[in-house]
Amino acid sequence: MVLSKHGEREKRILSLFRIAVLISGSGSNLQAIIDFTENETVSNFEIALVVSSREGAYGLERAKKHGIKSAVIGKDNTDKLLEALSENNIDGIVLAGYLSILPPSVINAYENRIINIHPALLPQFGGMGFYGLKVHQAVLDSGVPYTGASVHIVDCGVDTGAVLIRGVIAVLPDDTAESLQKRVLGVEHTIIVLAVKALADGDTDKLKQKPLMLISDSDRKGVRTYAKEFKELGEKLIDADSEEL
Ligand code: GRF
Protein backbone atom coordinates (compact mmCIF):
# COMPACT_ATOMS: atom_id res chain seq x y z
CA MET A 1 0.00 0.00 0.00
CA VAL A 2 1.34 3.42 -0.94
CA LEU A 3 0.54 6.13 1.58
CA SER A 4 0.58 9.79 0.75
CA LYS A 5 2.67 12.04 2.96
CA HIS A 6 -0.52 13.02 4.72
CA GLY A 7 -1.48 9.35 5.10
CA GLU A 8 1.88 8.52 6.66
CA ARG A 9 1.43 11.30 9.16
CA GLU A 10 -2.05 10.10 10.00
CA LYS A 11 -0.75 6.59 10.46
CA ARG A 12 1.91 7.85 12.88
CA ILE A 13 -0.62 9.83 14.84
CA LEU A 14 -2.96 6.86 15.02
CA SER A 15 -0.21 4.67 16.38
CA LEU A 16 0.47 6.77 19.49
CA PHE A 17 0.46 4.68 22.66
CA ARG A 18 -2.87 5.31 24.36
CA ILE A 19 -2.80 5.69 28.12
CA ALA A 20 -5.56 5.85 30.70
CA VAL A 21 -4.68 7.84 33.82
CA LEU A 22 -6.51 6.69 36.94
CA ILE A 23 -6.89 9.22 39.73
CA SER A 24 -8.84 9.86 42.93
CA GLY A 25 -7.88 13.41 43.88
CA SER A 26 -5.99 16.52 42.88
CA GLY A 27 -4.33 15.06 39.80
CA SER A 28 -1.13 17.11 39.85
CA ASN A 29 0.72 14.13 38.36
CA LEU A 30 -1.96 13.96 35.68
CA GLN A 31 -1.28 17.65 35.03
CA ALA A 32 2.45 16.96 34.61
CA ILE A 33 1.62 14.35 31.97
CA ILE A 34 -0.84 16.70 30.23
CA ASP A 35 1.76 19.49 30.20
CA PHE A 36 4.29 17.16 28.63
CA THR A 37 1.94 16.10 25.83
CA GLU A 38 0.94 19.71 25.18
CA ASN A 39 4.37 21.30 25.33
CA GLU A 40 6.52 18.71 23.62
CA THR A 41 6.49 18.60 19.86
CA VAL A 42 7.21 14.88 19.92
CA SER A 43 5.30 12.65 22.27
CA ASN A 44 5.05 8.90 21.83
CA PHE A 45 1.80 8.64 23.77
CA GLU A 46 -1.52 10.34 24.28
CA ILE A 47 -3.91 10.51 27.21
CA ALA A 48 -6.96 8.78 25.81
CA LEU A 49 -8.93 8.58 29.06
CA VAL A 50 -8.95 9.80 32.65
CA VAL A 51 -10.80 7.65 35.16
CA SER A 52 -11.58 8.92 38.63
CA SER A 53 -12.68 6.57 41.39
CA ARG A 54 -14.77 9.39 42.81
CA GLU A 55 -16.97 12.30 41.78
CA GLY A 56 -15.61 15.75 42.44
CA ALA A 57 -11.93 14.86 42.15
CA TYR A 58 -10.08 17.97 40.95
CA GLY A 59 -8.24 15.86 38.38
CA LEU A 60 -11.56 15.59 36.50
CA GLU A 61 -11.57 19.39 36.10
CA ARG A 62 -8.05 19.25 34.72
CA ALA A 63 -9.11 16.64 32.17
CA LYS A 64 -12.12 18.70 31.14
CA LYS A 65 -10.07 21.86 30.77
CA HIS A 66 -7.75 20.09 28.36
CA GLY A 67 -10.49 18.34 26.38
CA ILE A 68 -9.58 14.87 27.63
CA LYS A 69 -12.30 12.24 27.90
CA SER A 70 -13.06 11.24 31.47
CA ALA A 71 -15.27 8.91 33.45
CA VAL A 72 -16.12 8.31 37.09
CA ILE A 73 -16.01 4.62 37.88
CA GLY A 74 -16.41 3.48 41.49
CA LYS A 75 -13.75 1.20 42.88
CA ASP A 76 -15.90 -1.92 42.91
CA ASN A 77 -17.12 -1.59 39.35
CA THR A 78 -14.46 -3.71 37.65
CA ASP A 79 -16.62 -4.65 34.66
CA LYS A 80 -17.30 -1.00 33.87
CA LEU A 81 -13.61 -0.19 34.18
CA LEU A 82 -12.55 -3.03 31.88
CA GLU A 83 -15.21 -1.98 29.41
CA ALA A 84 -14.06 1.66 29.39
CA LEU A 85 -10.43 0.61 28.91
CA SER A 86 -11.30 -1.67 26.03
CA GLU A 87 -13.72 0.76 24.35
CA ASN A 88 -11.01 3.42 24.37
CA ASN A 89 -8.33 1.06 23.01
CA ILE A 90 -6.11 1.65 26.01
CA ASP A 91 -2.56 0.33 25.67
CA GLY A 92 -1.27 1.17 29.14
CA ILE A 93 -2.53 2.41 32.51
CA VAL A 94 -1.01 5.02 34.81
CA LEU A 95 -2.12 5.07 38.45
CA ALA A 96 -1.54 8.62 39.61
CA GLY A 97 -3.00 9.04 43.06
CA TYR A 98 -5.57 6.28 42.51
CA LEU A 99 -6.75 5.30 45.98
CA SER A 100 -8.07 1.84 45.11
CA ILE A 101 -6.46 -1.52 44.61
CA LEU A 102 -6.95 -2.82 41.07
CA PRO A 103 -8.44 -6.31 40.97
CA PRO A 104 -6.36 -9.17 39.44
CA SER A 105 -8.65 -9.25 36.36
CA VAL A 106 -7.49 -5.75 35.37
CA ILE A 107 -3.86 -6.40 36.32
CA ASN A 108 -3.77 -9.60 34.28
CA ALA A 109 -5.46 -7.97 31.28
CA TYR A 110 -2.74 -5.27 31.22
CA GLU A 111 0.16 -7.30 32.61
CA ASN A 112 3.37 -5.25 32.67
CA ARG A 113 1.48 -2.28 31.21
CA ILE A 114 0.29 -0.66 34.45
CA ILE A 115 2.51 1.72 36.41
CA ASN A 116 1.95 3.43 39.75
CA ILE A 117 3.63 6.39 41.41
CA HIS A 118 4.39 6.19 45.13
CA PRO A 119 5.71 9.05 47.29
CA ALA A 120 8.65 7.18 48.87
CA LEU A 121 11.72 5.21 47.89
CA LEU A 122 10.28 1.73 47.48
CA PRO A 123 10.63 -0.88 48.85
CA GLN A 124 10.83 1.35 51.93
CA PHE A 125 7.65 3.00 53.19
CA GLY A 126 5.33 1.12 50.86
CA GLY A 127 2.43 -1.30 51.23
CA MET A 128 -0.92 -1.17 53.01
CA GLY A 129 -1.46 1.99 55.07
CA PHE A 130 1.36 3.97 53.44
CA TYR A 131 -0.43 6.77 51.63
CA GLY A 132 -0.61 10.57 51.74
CA LEU A 133 0.98 12.30 54.72
CA LYS A 134 1.34 8.99 56.57
CA VAL A 135 4.22 8.09 54.26
CA HIS A 136 6.08 11.33 54.92
CA GLN A 137 5.46 11.17 58.66
CA ALA A 138 6.86 7.63 58.72
CA VAL A 139 9.94 8.85 56.84
CA LEU A 140 10.45 11.63 59.41
CA ASP A 141 9.88 9.27 62.36
CA SER A 142 12.42 6.79 61.01
CA GLY A 143 15.15 9.43 60.77
CA VAL A 144 16.35 8.42 57.28
CA PRO A 145 18.34 11.25 55.65
CA TYR A 146 16.65 10.96 52.26
CA THR A 147 13.33 10.20 50.67
CA GLY A 148 11.74 10.61 47.26
CA ALA A 149 9.31 8.92 44.93
CA SER A 150 9.19 5.71 42.89
CA VAL A 151 7.36 4.56 39.79
CA HIS A 152 6.85 0.82 39.64
CA ILE A 153 5.04 -1.82 37.64
CA VAL A 154 1.77 -2.83 39.26
CA ASP A 155 1.43 -6.48 40.20
CA CYS A 156 -1.12 -8.14 42.46
CA GLY A 157 0.59 -6.96 45.66
CA VAL A 158 0.50 -3.46 47.17
CA ASP A 159 3.53 -1.42 46.00
CA THR A 160 5.45 -4.65 45.36
CA GLY A 161 6.03 -4.56 41.58
CA ALA A 162 9.44 -3.91 40.02
CA VAL A 163 10.65 -0.33 40.42
CA LEU A 164 11.45 1.46 37.15
CA ILE A 165 12.49 4.94 38.31
CA ARG A 166 13.24 6.59 41.63
CA GLY A 167 13.77 10.29 42.34
CA VAL A 168 15.63 11.21 45.53
CA ILE A 169 15.66 14.27 47.76
CA ALA A 170 17.32 14.94 51.10
CA VAL A 171 15.26 15.19 54.27
CA LEU A 172 16.10 18.59 55.77
CA PRO A 173 16.34 19.28 59.52
CA ASP A 174 13.21 21.45 59.62
CA ASP A 175 11.09 19.30 57.30
CA THR A 176 7.52 18.47 58.28
CA ALA A 177 5.34 15.82 56.67
CA GLU A 178 3.71 18.63 54.68
CA SER A 179 6.95 20.16 53.43
CA LEU A 180 8.25 16.73 52.42
CA GLN A 181 5.03 15.98 50.61
CA LYS A 182 5.38 19.18 48.61
CA ARG A 183 9.02 18.61 47.64
CA VAL A 184 8.44 14.93 46.85
CA LEU A 185 5.52 15.90 44.59
CA GLY A 186 7.92 18.09 42.62
CA VAL A 187 10.10 15.03 41.96
CA GLU A 188 7.04 12.94 41.11
CA HIS A 189 6.09 15.31 38.32
CA THR A 190 9.41 14.64 36.61
CA ILE A 191 9.64 10.89 37.08
CA ILE A 192 6.03 10.17 36.15
CA VAL A 193 6.60 11.65 32.70
CA LEU A 194 9.85 9.70 32.25
CA ALA A 195 8.06 6.51 33.23
CA VAL A 196 5.11 7.04 30.88
CA LYS A 197 7.52 7.69 28.00
CA ALA A 198 9.37 4.47 28.86
CA LEU A 199 6.11 2.54 29.06
CA ALA A 200 5.07 3.82 25.64
CA ASP A 201 8.51 2.98 24.22
CA GLY A 202 8.31 -0.58 25.53
CA ASP A 203 11.37 0.04 27.73
CA THR A 204 10.00 -1.25 31.01
CA ASP A 205 11.84 -4.60 30.89
CA LYS A 206 15.10 -2.73 30.41
CA LEU A 207 14.30 -0.45 33.36
CA LYS A 208 13.35 -3.40 35.55
CA GLN A 209 16.89 -4.70 35.10
CA LYS A 210 18.46 -1.30 35.58
CA PRO A 211 16.11 1.25 37.18
CA LEU A 212 16.80 4.94 36.77
CA MET A 213 17.60 7.06 39.77
CA LEU A 214 17.02 10.78 39.48
CA ILE A 215 19.09 12.81 41.92
CA SER A 216 17.25 16.06 42.29
CA ASP A 217 19.22 17.40 45.21
CA SER A 218 22.64 16.40 44.04
CA ASP A 219 24.61 18.85 46.15
CA ARG A 220 23.66 17.03 49.30
CA LYS A 221 26.14 14.46 50.45
CA GLY A 222 23.50 12.16 51.94
CA VAL A 223 21.74 11.82 48.65
CA ARG A 224 24.96 11.18 46.76
CA THR A 225 25.98 8.49 49.23
CA TYR A 226 22.59 6.88 49.00
CA ALA A 227 22.63 7.02 45.23
CA LYS A 228 26.08 5.43 45.16
CA GLU A 229 24.76 2.40 47.01
CA PHE A 230 22.19 1.98 44.27
CA LYS A 231 24.81 2.40 41.58
CA GLU A 232 26.66 -0.50 43.09
CA LEU A 233 23.43 -2.48 42.71
CA GLY A 234 23.44 -1.64 39.00
CA GLU A 235 21.08 1.31 38.86
CA LYS A 236 21.63 4.05 36.33
CA LEU A 237 22.00 7.47 37.96
CA ILE A 238 21.03 10.68 36.21
CA ASP A 239 21.15 14.22 37.44
CA ALA A 240 17.92 16.22 37.57
CA ASP A 241 19.33 18.73 35.09
CA SER A 242 20.70 16.06 32.76
CA GLU A 243 20.12 16.41 29.03
CA GLU A 244 18.84 12.82 29.08
CA LEU A 245 15.56 14.02 30.57
C1 GRF B 1 1.03 11.39 44.93
O2 GRF B 1 1.80 11.70 46.05
C3 GRF B 1 1.29 9.97 44.48
O4 GRF B 1 2.60 9.54 44.72
C5 GRF B 1 0.34 9.18 45.33
O6 GRF B 1 -0.81 9.99 45.43
C7 GRF B 1 -0.45 11.37 45.26
C8 GRF B 1 -1.29 11.90 44.14
O9 GRF B 1 -1.12 13.28 43.97
N10 GRF B 1 0.10 7.86 44.80
P11 GRF B 1 -1.82 14.02 42.74
O12 GRF B 1 -3.29 13.68 42.80
O13 GRF B 1 -1.18 13.55 41.48
O14 GRF B 1 -1.58 15.48 43.00
Q: Give the C-alpha separation, 122 to 49, whole Å.
A: 27
Helix H or strand E encompassing 142: helix 133-142
Distance 244 CA to ligand 1 centre (A): 24
For the chain, report the end-to-end CA distance as a whole number of angstroms: 37
159, pLDDT greater than 60: yes
- Please enumerate in sequence order all residues whose Cβ is within 8 A of that of 243, keeping only pairs 6 or more positions apart, or say none: none
229-239: average pLDDT? 62
Mean pLDDT across the chain: 88
The answer to whether the pTM exceeds 0.85 is yes
> Does the annotation mark 6 as catalytic?
no
Q: Is 137 helix (H, G, I), strand (E, B) or coil?
A: helix
Cα–Cα distance, 131 to 129 (Å, whole number): 6
What does the DSSP assignment read for 50-82? Answer: EEESSTT-HHHHHHHHTT--EEE--TT-HHHHH
- Give the model's confidence band at 1: pLDDT under 50 very low, under 70 low, under 90 confident, else very high: very low
Tell me if 158 sits within 8 A of 116, measured CB to CB.
no
pLDDT computed for residue 148 by the predictor:
94
Is the pLDDT higher at 190 or at 41?
Answer: 190
Between 234 and 203, residue with greater pLDDT = 203
**Mutation to probe ligand 1, out of 154, 169, 188 (largest number of atoms < 8 A from CB):** 188
Is residue 82 packed enough to be buried (19+ CB in 10 Å), middle (13-18) or exposed (0-12)?
middle
**Ligand 1 pocket: which residues have CB below 6 Å?**
23, 25-29, 96-97, 117-119, 149, 185, 188
SS3 state of residue 221: helix
Strand-strand pairing, 146-153 and 163-170: antiparallel
Strands in 155-226 per DSSP E: 163-170, 212-215
Atom of ligand 1 nearest to the CA of 24: 12
**CA–CA separation, 46 and 163 (whole Å):** 23
The residue whose C-alpha atom lies closest to atom 5 belonging to ligand 1 is 97
